[in-house]
């Protein structure tokens, strides 16, 4: 995605969920993400950006997902996401 496309997508998501409810945005350091961050900082200056943490967060979530107490819940969540994705695509 281009920096403008990422900027527009993130900006729309922030508007949909109300920017005041967002504390932090975590991305990787891909150049398009970094450029989009700079564009959004002008418009939404109060957000805290963590540009190099996406991989670490992914690793932490994968580790949590491997814990037995979460495996069943995560499996059900993945099935629900898959089901809603299929249903949504069928209606489009």
In a domain, 9, yes or no: yes
State pLDDT tens for residues 51-61: 888 888 888 88
In a domain, 34, yes or no: yes
Which of 5-14, 34-43, 64-73, 81-90 is least confident?
81-90
Higher pLDDT among residues 33 and 91, named by residue: 33
pTM, to two decimals: 0.58
Q: How many domains does the chain have?
A: 1
In a domain, 37, yes or no: yes
In a domain, 60, yes or no: no
In a domain, 91, yes or no: no
Please determine, for residue 92, whether its predicted confidence score (pLDDT) is greater than 70: no
In a domain, 61, yes or no: no
Which structural domain range is residue 45 located in?
A: 3-52
In a domain, 19, yes or no: yes
Integer angstrom CA distances of residue 63 from 12, 51, 58, 69, 87: 31, 21, 9, 12, 30
In a domain, 75, yes or no: no
Please determine, for residue 24, whether its predicted confidence score (pLDDT) is greater than 80: yes
- The answer to whether 26 touches 57, Cβ cutoff 8 Å, is yes
User: What pLDDT sits at residue 19?
Assistant: 82
């Amino acid at each position: 995605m281009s920096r403008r496309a990422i900027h527009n997508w993130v900006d729309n998501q922030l508007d949909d969920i109300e920017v005041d409810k967002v504390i932090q945005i975590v991305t990787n350091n891909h150049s398009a993400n970094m450029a989009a961050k700079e564009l959004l900082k002008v418009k939404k200056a109060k957000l805290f950006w963590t540009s190099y943490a996406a991989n670490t967060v992914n690793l932490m979530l994968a580790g949590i997902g491997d814990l037995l107490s979460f495996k069943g819940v995560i499996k059900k969540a993945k099935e629900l996401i898959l089901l809603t994705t299929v249903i949504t695509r069928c209606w489009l």
